[in-house]
């Protein structure tokens, strides 16, 4: 049911019956390592290209989630997938392996919550009994496409972020045990005219703020309703800006309530990550791994995940276009 301008409230409460997170070597050294179902020491995962490695990440995340739900892949009715690579081939190729009816999505790093919203909508509308969401990103594959070759020695500024190598999958169903998706706020594309691809946090922060404000306005809720409000991949720079911007707009979210997946996934003694994690996989593995685990343990009851995406392409950047950004918020309760 639509509430306010842009928020869907799911009355049947679609349930996340299983979720899985798969990560790479840097994620394995991070503080959330124990929340991953599978960690790889080799960035190539034994494949002959980074793109194939990303496909493998998705396949493993999907297979693990399906297995955890005690189902077979034939039982899954629809698959929503997305990633950052041109024409989202890792998603399409892993959907080929899984042979589940597939809808490909692109929302840059916001794809995880875009997919979760759509899967919940599908289950809510009774067009499906269940739907699987799977998104991924791969550090080297993304660097290759968006920036420079992986081994190229350029000095990155402290505002740059590190693309997460990982894939997260969540299986949404009309019945079962687990955290429930209760509402989704679909974000607008916001462009504040920033054009530095080494500072995506600042470009995405206004989109996150816009969606968070819309969510509380549409539902008439107070931030204290939630135990945790997590943005997707703003990193250290964007997180600080978003926090201050929310205060400036009169929405007082206590500091301990507001966090960011890009901050949580790596520890401070991992210097290569600079301002923190980014990529589709960042929000996906943190939410579908860490947050949902904490909810199942009873540490968290109500969370709001705001996945943020920078909608740029290497070409739009070279053509001196600014970086538009988007954010989708999903409320998960247990």
Partner 1 sequence: MSIKKKKKLSPTQQEYQQFAQAREPKRPILSNCIKAFFVGGLICTFGQVLQMFFIKYFHFSTESSGNPEVAVIIIITVILTGLGVFDHIAQFAGAGTVVPITGFANTIASASIEHRTEGYVLGVGGNMFKIAGPVIVFGVFSAFVVSLVVISLRALGVM
Closest of 196, 232, 229 to residue 309, by C-alpha: 232
Minimum separation from the CB atom of position 29 to partner 1 (A): 15
Q: Is 269 in the site for partner 1 (CB under 8 A)?
A: no
- Token output for 242: 């978003």
Closest of 260, 272, 210 to residue 232, by C-alpha: 260
The C-alpha atoms of residue 332 and residue 301 are separated, in whole angstroms, by 8
Residues 229-248 that bind partner 1 (CB under 8 A): 236-237, 240-241, 244-245, 248
The residue within the footprint of partner 1, chosen from 99, 272, 313, 314 (CB under 8 A), is 272
The residue within the footprint of partner 1, chosen from 41, 46, 193, 298 (CB under 8 A), is 193
> Which is closer to partner 1, CB of 150 or CB of 252?
150
> Which is closer to partner 1, CB of 192 or CB of 251?
192
Inter-helix orientation angle 89-98/50-68, to 10°: 50
The residue within the footprint of partner 1, chosen from 170, 205, 265, 329 (CB under 8 A), is 205
Q: 2-3 and 228-231 as β-strands: parallel, antiparallel, unpaired? A: unpaired
The residue within the footprint of partner 1, chosen from 99, 150, 252, 267 (CB under 8 A), is 150
Binding mask 37-76 for partner 1 (x = CB under 8 A): -----------xxxx-------------------------
Q: Name the percent of the chain in helix, strand, coil, to the closest 5.
A: 40, 25, 35
Length of the chain: 334
C-alpha 30: how far from chain center = 17
Q: Is 157 in the site for partner 1 (CB under 8 A)?
A: yes
Largest CA distance in the chain: 52
Q: Is 258 in the site for partner 1 (CB under 8 A)?
A: no
Residues in contact with partner 1 by the rule CB under 8 A: 48-51, 144, 148-159, 191-194, 199, 202, 205-206, 236-237, 240-241, 244-245, 248, 272, 275
């Amino acid at each position: 049911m639509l509430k306010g301008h842009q928020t869907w409230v799911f009355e049947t409460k679609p349930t996340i019956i299983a979720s899985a997170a798969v990560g790479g070597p840097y994620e394995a050294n991070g503080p959330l390592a124990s929340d991953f179902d599978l960690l790889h020491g080799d960035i190539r995962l034994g494949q002959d290209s980074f793109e194939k490695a990303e496909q493998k990440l998705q396949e493993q995340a999907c297979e693990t989630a399906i297995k955890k739900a005690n189902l077979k892949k034939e039982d899954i009715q629809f698959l929503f997938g997305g990633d950052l690579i041109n024409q989202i081939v890792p998603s399409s190729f892993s959907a080929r392996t899984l042979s589940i009816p597939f809808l490909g999505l692109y929302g840059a790093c916001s794809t995880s919550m875009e997919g979760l919203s759509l899967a919940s909508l599908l289950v809510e509308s009774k067009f499906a009994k269940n739907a699987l969401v799977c998104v991924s990103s791969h550090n080297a594959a993304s660097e290759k496409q968006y920036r420079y070759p992986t081994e190229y020695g350029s000095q990155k500024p402290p505002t740059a972020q590190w693309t997460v190598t990982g894939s997260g999958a969540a299986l949404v169903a009309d019945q079962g045990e687990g955290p429930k998706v209760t509402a989704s706020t679909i974000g607008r594309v916001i462009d504040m005219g920033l054009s530095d691809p080494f500072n995506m946090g600042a470009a995405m922060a206004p989109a996150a703020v816009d969606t968070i404000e819309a969510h509380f306005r549409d539902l008439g809720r107070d931030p204290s309703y939630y135990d945790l409000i997590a943005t997707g991949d703003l990193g250290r720079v964007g997180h600080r800006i978003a926090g201050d911007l929310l205060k400036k707009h009169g929405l007082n979210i206590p500091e301990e309530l507001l966090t960011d997946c890009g901050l949580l996934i790596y520890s401070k003694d991992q210097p290569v990550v600079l301002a923190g994690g980014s990529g589709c996989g960042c929000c996906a593995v943190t939410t579908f791994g860490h947050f949902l685990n904490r909810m199942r343990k009873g540490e968290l009851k109500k969370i709001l995940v705001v996945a943020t995406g920078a909608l740029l392409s290497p070409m739009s950047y070279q053509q001196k276009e600014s970086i538009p950004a988007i954010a989708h918020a999903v409320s998960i309760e247990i």
